[in-house]
Amino acid sequence: MVTNETLGLLFQFGLFLVALIGLVVTLTKKK
């Protein structure tokens, strides 16, 4: 059973991954 707290953590983790990947792509393209 998935609780709302678990969904919240997964959502925050997903946003963190997207932001991290976006930052890496931006830094890579600048070089």
Give tens-digit pLDDT for 21-30. 999 999 999 8
Three-state secondary structure along 1-31? Answer: CCCHHHHHHHHHHHHHHHHHHHHHHHHHHHC
Look at residue 1 and tell me whether its pLDDT is greater than 80: no
pTM of the model: 0.63
Q: How far apart are the first and last CA of the chain?
A: 46
Per-residue pLDDT at 11 = 96
pLDDT digit string, tens, across residues 8-20: 999 999 999 999 9
The pLDDT, as a whole number, for residue 12 is 97
- Cα–Cα distance measured from residue 1 to residue 25, given in angstroms and rounded to the nearest whole number: 36
What pLDDT, on the 0 to 100 scale, is given for residue 30?
Answer: 84
**Structure-token pair, residue 4:** 């709302």
